[in-house]
Amino acid sequence: MIPGVLCTGNIVMDVLARPVDEITWGGTRWVDSITQELGGNGAATCAAIAMLGVPSRLIGAVGHDLFGTAALARLKECGVDTRLIERLDSATATSVALVRAGGTRAFLHHPGAGRLAFARPFPLTSQITAGCTRFHIANPFSLPLLRPKVSTMLREAAALGLSTSLDTAWDALGEWMKTLASSLPHVGILFSNEDEARMLTGTADPPLAAARLRDAGATDIVLKLGPNGCAVFTAGEEWHVPAFQVTAIDSTGAGDCFAGAYLAALQRNLPHTEAARVANAAGAINVRTMGGTAGLLNWEQTLRWMSMARQRMA
């Protein structure tokens, strides 16, 4: 039995329109597609882990509405254990994504139930973590009431013997290290993309950013470099793993699928270098379709895709 991953993070329903390269106020623009998909960093990461055959359990919140029902149904379809997801008297968090022809996007976001998640104390216990050997926080910045609890939850997870990881995502409030400084010494693997790492460290140079994040307390650093793949920094070792060649349709959720696949590979006892290849594949597979979770494949399908796909030159 593969050990599971306990995740916490936001759960969002995404409404995606493509292509939208410009907006004319007061007019109507026809687009090729408008789709509704499960999104949110917590939901997408947890769904990716489950789809890759690793048990995953999600702590989060949705509203008592149609989007909440749809989000729970999609999570269960992916194989996620949803018993720790609260249904609150609020609208489910929703994003409208305007996706350009090349796959880049802009979001209009209503946090909904995300504003109320973690209003009550939620201590991690052996009952909550049963069957899991890793605790992962996906975007601690997305849930206002989670921000001050990140360090405590990571310490509780470590005290229960779980490995820990955290994916930064973007901090719309701009607090960055003010929120994370006390948490980094309790983070086993820190995921971040180039822009986020620059905001956290003040440098755009990946090796220097990783060094500063390790100096701040994080053990291992995984930097997501988009079309350039990823860079992995552990004690005394550094690897650059090139990306796979794909035509991007929509990059929504690619970083979350990357992190989920990386963790799923580690849970399957793969080394960091192979976990990075699987993660790059999951991210590449994701950008071929609209939505943060629509393109998810299972473990066997992902390995088969990797065997046929071409990697970019390092």
Find the domain containing 302 and state its range: 4-22+33-308
Predicted TM-score of the model (pTM): 0.95
Domain-located, residue 27: no
Domain-located, residue 196: yes
Percent of the chain residues topping a pLDDT of 90? 86
Confidence of residue 235 (pLDDT cuts 50, 70, 90): confident
Domain-located, residue 118: yes
d(CA 195, CA 48): 23
Domain-located, residue 28: no
Confidence of residue 314 (pLDDT cuts 50, 70, 90): low
- 118-126 LR contacts (CB < 8 Å, sep 24+): 118/61, 118/143, 118/145, 118/146, 118/149, 119/145, 122/59, 122/149, 122/153, 123/156, 124/6, 124/153, 124/156, 124/157, 124/160, 125/160, 126/160
Domain-located, residue 313: no
Per-residue tokens: 159: 């005290």
Backbone dihedral angles phi then psi of residue 229, each to the nearest 5 degrees? 85, -130
Domain-located, residue 37: yes
Least confident of 50-59, 170-179, 206-215, 248-257: 248-257
Provide the CATH number for the domain around residue 127.
Answer: 3.40.1190.20
Q: Which whole number is the average pLDDT over 259-288?
A: 97
Q: Which whole number is the average pLDDT over 215-238?
A: 96
Domain-located, residue 299: yes
pLDDT digits (tens, 9 = 90+) for 97-151: 898 988 788 889 999 999 999 998 889 999 999 999 999 999 999 999 999 999 9
pLDDT digits (tens, 9 = 90+) for 53-84: 999 999 999 999 999 999 999 999 999 999 99
Domain-located, residue 314: no
Please state the domain count of the chain: 1
